[in-house]
Amino acid sequence: MEAYGDDDMTAQYVTLRTMTAEEYRAATEQREAESVRVLSSAMPEELARERVAHGTAKYLPDGLETAGHHLLTAENARGEAVGNAWVGPDPSQAAGTARSAWLYDLNVFADYRRRGYGTAILAAVEKLIAAEGQSTLGLNVVSDNAAAIALYERSGYAVASMVMRKQV
């Protein structure tokens, strides 16, 4: 799937392909580390690690081969890997009935950030799920990730629900 993005007035182009086994391992390590970082603000780190490992096992029981999930590497026009994405069934909908997909993760690699690749990856994912008959794409974003929030807002996403927390 191909798409263009337009951040900071620089149009970028990406092609999505299935991750290699090594890319999947690296993406999983990065995603799990970030998830532990976020969860550790509300629970002990060891419990956060257990929950994250359980989540990976639940949603990706067969890793790269998990049915209905796309674990993707985004490449630019020069064939360089610029980021990755994980999209699959919306976890809030019953299997086989969903018209909504879920963006579990989207990353732009450090050397390619702030150059329009996030927009391009998101647009390519949207084209992919639309081609599969999905009508909406949902996602969660951590409140301290201002760059991701700005990307999603520029791309037309709106808050559908909000969880708030206070340490007492």
Q: By the 8 A CB rule, do 141 and 148 touch? A: yes
Q: How far apart are CA 143 and CA 86, in angstroms?
A: 20
Q: How far apart are CA 155 and CA 157, in angstroms?
A: 6
Q: How far apart are CA 73 and CA 162, in angstroms?
A: 29
Task: Locate all alpha helices (DSSP H) within the chain, ordered by sequence.
Answer: 21-39, 45-59, 117-131, 146-154
pLDDT of res. 164 = 75
The β-bridge relationship of strands 70-75 and 100-108 is unpaired
Question: What residues make up the domain containing 84?
Answer: 2-19+64-154
pLDDT tens for the chain, 168 residues long, are 555 454 444 578 899 999 999 999 999 999 999 999 999 988 999 999 999 999 999 999 999 999 999 999 999 999 999 999 999 999 887 555 568 899 999 999 999 999 999 999 999 999 999 999 999 999 988 888 889 999 999 999 988 877 777 767
**Helical (H) or strand (E) element with 103:** strand 100-108
68: tokens are 């209905």
Q: CA Rg, the chain, in Å?
A: 16
- Is 46 contained in some domain? no
The β-bridge relationship of strands 70-75 and 10-18 is antiparallel
* Maximal C-alpha separation, the chain: 51
Number of domains in the chain: 1
Q: How far apart are CA 24 and CA 28, in angstroms?
A: 6
pLDDT of res. 44 = 94
- Is 58 contained in some domain? no
- Is 165 contained in some domain? no
- Is 47 contained in some domain? no
- Is 86 contained in some domain? yes
Residues in a beta bridge with 74: 16, 83
Token look-up 């985004």 returns: 74
pLDDT of res. 165 = 72
Q: CATH number, domain at 145?
A: 3.40.630.30
- Is 97 contained in some domain? yes
Helix axes 21-39, 45-59, angle to 10 degrees: 140
